[in-house]
């Protein structure tokens, strides 16, 4: 079954924002995007949760979007995060992204101020009716404090500008209700839920683990799409512990940035109030990476 934003089916990677000496490292950002383009991913998603958007200044946020579009150079789609808990701010960022060539906008549910379902609907409607790129509704209630109820997403699906849902509720029932009642393109927002969600009609994933092993996540999706369920299941279980620990040892993106440093693709520290992994968790992460078969650079925790 074809969905509304089918060109975003497959693997999108929520890329990190590299820092060096407290500033955004744009050279390393371009290297990260080259890595993803060479891996053959469908799309990159800068300045989302993984990209530490809450601690970027407005100017940095906008420049990362612009630099990402320029570095992608048409090789991959670009779907930057443009959400905010203020509709006016989300509208400003989304319009900016559309004007400079983004292919879509990833918009998180407004957080902290806990809008009603009607308020959530009006927020996304204002964005969808103001730009000509598709909006991906990002539903992650563990971070926002609000679930976008399936009935609200069904209403949003009536708007042509709403194209996708990044499903990070952890609820297969909610995902099933959305997939069965709309033509929206549903993308997993949780790496370890990718195969279960594909099985009920999702079309891909916006991945964190794809920062380090995009080929394996691509292989899982391709195996499923070709009907090779034994291979898809094998890759699901192979990736499971890596996905679990990259998202479970500490708040995202702390573990993925630590992992990237361990494999020689250092993207710098996280910004306060996030802090680096403590030594015991670094040792656990190193063990997980070794167990997966990922080669680490020298001088890693035992």
Asked if 112 is an active-site residue, the reply is no
Q: 96, 138, 284, 295: which is the annotated catalytic residue?
A: 138
Q: How distant, in Å, are the alpha carbons of 43, 94, 161, 171 from that of 105?
A: 12, 6, 11, 23
pLDDT of the residue at 300: 57
pLDDT, position 84? 97
In whole angstroms, give the CA distance from residue 42 to residue 55. 27
Q: What is the pLDDT of residue 31?
A: 97
Residues 286, 171: Cα–Cα separation, whole Å: 31
Catalytic choice (26, 96, 166, 257)? 166
Give the chain's domains with CATH numbers. 6-228 (3.20.20.70)
Task: Give CA–CA dist 283/22, Å, rounded.
Answer: 25
Q: Identify the segments of the chain with pLDDT beneath 70.
A: 298-302
Q: Is 295 a catalytic residue?
A: no
């Amino acid at each position: 079954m074809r969905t509304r934003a089918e060109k975003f089916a497959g693997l999108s990677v929520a890329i990190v924002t590299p820092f060096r000496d407290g500033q955004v490292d744009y050279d390393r950002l371009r290297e990260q995007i080259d890595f993803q383009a060479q891996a053959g991913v469908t799309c990159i998603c800068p300045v989302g949760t993984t990209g530490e958007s809450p601690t970027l200044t407005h100017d940095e946020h906008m420049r990362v979007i612009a630099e990402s579009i320029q570095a992608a150079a048409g090789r991959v789609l670009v779907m930057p995060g443009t959400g905010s808990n203020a509709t006016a701010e989300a509208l400003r960022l989304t319009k900016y992204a559309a004007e400079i060539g983004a292919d879509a906008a990833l918009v998180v549910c407004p957080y902290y101020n806990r809008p009603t379902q009607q308020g959530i609907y009006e927020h996304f409607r204002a964005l969808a009716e103001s730009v000509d790129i598709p909006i991906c509704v990002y539903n992650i209630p563990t971070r926002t404090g609000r679930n976008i109820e399936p009935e609200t997403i069904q209403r949003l699906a009536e708007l042509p500008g709403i194209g996708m849902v990044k499903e990070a509720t952890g609820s297969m029932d909610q995902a099933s209700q959305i997939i069965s009642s709309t033509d929206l393109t549903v993308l997993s927002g949780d790496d370890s839920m990718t195969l279960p969600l594909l099985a009920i009609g999702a079309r891909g994933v916006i991945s964190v683990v794809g920062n380090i092993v995009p080929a394996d996540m691509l292989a899982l999706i391709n195996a499923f799409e070709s009907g090779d369920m034994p291979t898809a299941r094998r890759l699901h279980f192979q990736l499971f512990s890596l996905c679990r620990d990259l998202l479970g040892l500490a708040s995202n993106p702390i573990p993925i940035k630590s992992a990237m440093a361990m494999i020689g693709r250092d993207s710098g520290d996280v910004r306060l109030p996030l802090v680096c992994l403590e030594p015991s968790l670094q040792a656990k992460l190193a063990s997980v990476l070794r167990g997966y078969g990922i080669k680490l650079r020298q001088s890693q925790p035992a």
